[in-house]
Amino acid sequence: MSAARPQGIGTPRALRRAALFGALALGIAEPAPAAEPTGSFHVGAPERSVMKNGLTVMVLSRPGLPLVQMQMQFASGAIADPRGKEGLASLTAALLTRGTARRDADAFAEQVEFLGGALDASASLERSTVEGEFAARDFEAGVGLMAEMVREPAFAETEFARERGLALARVESLADDPEALAGAAFSRWLWGTHPYGQPRDGTTTSLKALTRADVVAFHRSRYVPGGTILILSGDITVARARGTLEKAFGSWRGAAAKGAAVPAAPPFKGRRVLLVDKPDATQSQILLGNLALRRADPAFEALSVANTVLGSGFTSWLVDEVRVKRGLTYSIHSSVGAGSAAGSLYVATFSKNETVADTLTLVIDLMRRMRTDGPGAAELETGRNYVAGLYPLRIEAPDALAGEMLDVEFFGLGKGYIDGYQGRIRAVTLEQARAAAARFVPADDLAITVVGPAGTLAGPLAAFGPVTVKPATWVTAGG
């Protein structure tokens, strides 16, 4: 393995599946919205148990699939980073693959490669995840390697310096990636000082402040069995899993770290524009939206359908009006992002500098129309079919299914959530979709972020609210 690989170790997942299953295993393209979903699908409930040390184990046996997907979730992510130490959770996760007490980084990677498997670790805002995939015949060896990286990371000084340097380079490169820069800026603009506004990958200032001791302390307090969930999916039996996991994790000890509950987030009031100055840009990145619902909100399915009509389907209002009819952009979509305490609904697009104001005006008009009128009956049916039909394809791969099961656990969505999803989507009524749109689609209260040349855009953008101009370093360096 090349020492320069920045994330994860092992054979790329798509290539392993192609070797095992042929070209069909490389994935299924997103279906055209005209395709009507038929029937239903059944995943079934995983076998659940809790080890004596508090590690929750869930096993979903799927005979005939010659792989075992393993995902271990720790209920601690970037929001646990101390102030001034942003990026710590992500750096800790990255270092897990860079050597253990038994093997240095190259030797560990070579062992994973030898088995044709893969191991990776990452941190999101609320969670850290260690993910592995191995052929079913190598299950015991794969679990052993996962346990080794989770329980015995070396955090060698040379590897710490290397990974921190890579993290710094990635953050600095945001200035040259308008789309990523806009996303990071929008998150900070929308959430402010709320924990969800925490820069997951840190800033150049915070990363430079991190030490190896910070990483060791974070790992010691956060990577513990208590409160952690391990999901196994694939050609594995409960009996085989139980014995292997007891050997690998039975002696592991540690209680879940007590963190403060994520507070409620105050909605963004009024319309305010953040303009991140990029003088050389010939087109501008645009994001706008506001806070919305938490993932466990009963209205989540209804909003998902309404949002599909607004901007996440191929025949959505935003695509039809902004891209197809006006030609103001090549790509536009709206998204619903939801965490345990709150979420957001936002629109992302880009346009030539000369048409940024026209694009924003049209997008806001469509958002207001959705908020006021909601979808029509025919649009509701199309949206329901699209969301329900896409769901089995979205979670078809073993890693995607394991991730969905972790979401169900983390957000407390309840037993039977996955098998009942299509039914709940198809049961969304016109009244429910319109009520969700009226409650969560923003129009008058909007956080607007634009990445483009301030000299050209500051004047036109003032029509949408007070404009705050910041350099790219406001995002990359913090402050």
pLDDT greater than 80 at residue 347: yes
Does a structural domain hold residue 422? yes
Backbone angles phi, psi at 53, to 5 degrees: -85, 0
Q: Are residues 235 and 374 in the same domain?
A: no
Q: Give the pLDDT score at 222.
A: 95
Same domain, 203 and 132: yes
The reply to whether 232 and 338 lie within a common domain is: no
Amino acid, res. 420: G
Answer whether residue 36 is part of any domain.
no
Domain housing 138: 9-20+45-249
CB atoms < 10 A from the CB of 34, how many? 10
Clarify whether residues 448 and 313 are in a common domain: yes
One domain, residues 294 and 182: no
**Backbone angles phi and psi of 289, in degrees to 5:** 170, -165
Q: Does 2 reside within a domain?
A: no
Instruction: Compute the distance between CA of residue 70 and CA of residue 472 in angstroms, rounded to an integer.
Output: 38
Average pLDDT across the chain, whole number? 91
Q: Are residues 132 and 208 in the same domain?
A: yes
pLDDT digits (tens, 9 = 90+) for 368-378: 999 999 999 99
- Does the residue 141 lie in any domain? yes
- Residue 8: pLDDT over 90: no
Same domain (yes/no): 226, 286? no
- Is the predicted pLDDT of residue 27 greater than 80, yes or no? no
Q: Is the pLDDT of residue 31 over 80?
A: no
> What was the pLDDT predicted at 356?
98
Per-residue pLDDT band at 40 (split at 50, 70, 90): low
Same domain, 311 and 440: yes
- How high is the pLDDT of residue 259? 66
- Per-residue confidence (pLDDT) for residue 2, from 0 to 100: 32
* Predicted pLDDT of residue 44: 84
Of 8-17, 161-170, 326-335, least confident by mean pLDDT is 8-17
Q: Give me the CATH number covering residue 51.
A: 3.30.830.10
Task: Give the domain-ending residue among 249, 281, 311.
Answer: 249
Residue 33, both tokens = 């919205």
Q: Is the pLDDT of residue 32 over 80?
A: no
Would you state the pLDDT for residue 102? 96
Looking at the domain assignment, is residue 32 inside a domain?
no
236 with 281, same domain?
A: no
Q: Which of 128, 91, 295 minimizes the C-alpha distance to 208?
A: 91
Is 37 a domain residue? no
Quote the CA–CA distance of 145 and 248 in Å, as a whole number. Answer: 9
Q: Pick the more confident residue, 33 or 47.
A: 47
Above 80 in pLDDT, residue 354? Answer: yes
What tokens were used for 3? Answer: 């020492």
Cβ neighbours of 292 (radius 10 Å): 24
pLDDT at 264: 85
Pick from 249, 279, 296: which residue ends a domain?
249
- Can you give the pLDDT at residue 18? 35
Rounded mean pLDDT, 441-463 = 98
Q: Is 76's pLDDT higher than 60?
A: yes
The number of folded domains in the chain is 2
- Are 213 and 288 in a shared domain? no
Q: What are the structure tokens assigned to 282, written together?
A: 């010939």
| Residues 335-359, mean pLDDT to the nearest whole number | 97
Domain boundary among 249, 282, 307: 249
pTM: 0.90
Query: Above 80 in pLDDT, residue 299?
Result: yes
Residues 448 and 463: their CA atoms lie apart, in Å, by: 12
Same domain, 13 and 79: yes
| Domain-embedded: residue 257 | no
- Same domain membership, residue 294 and residue 178: no
Give the per-residue pLDDT at 428.
98
Mean pLDDT of 108-129: 96
Q: Is residue 27 part of a domain?
A: no
Give the pLDDT confidence of 197-254 residue by residue, as tens digits: 999 999 999 999 999 999 999 999 999 999 999 999 999 999 999 999 999 999 999 9
Among positive and negative, which fits the CA dihedral 446, 452, 454, 459? negative
More confident residue, 4 or 282: 282
Whole-number Cα distances in Å, 378 to 193, 208, 299, 412: 41, 54, 20, 33
| pLDDT of 28 | 26
Q: Report pLDDT for 45.
A: 86
- Residues in the chain, how many? 479
Buried b (16+ CB within 10 A) or exposed e, 303-334: bbbbbbbbbbbebbbbbebbbeeeebbeebbb
Quick one: what percent of the chain has pLDDT higher than 90? 85
pLDDT for 3: 32
Summarize pLDDT for 399-433 with one digit per residue, the tens.
899 999 999 999 999 989 999 999 999 999 999 99
Of 37 and 415, the structure prediction assigns the larger pLDDT to 415
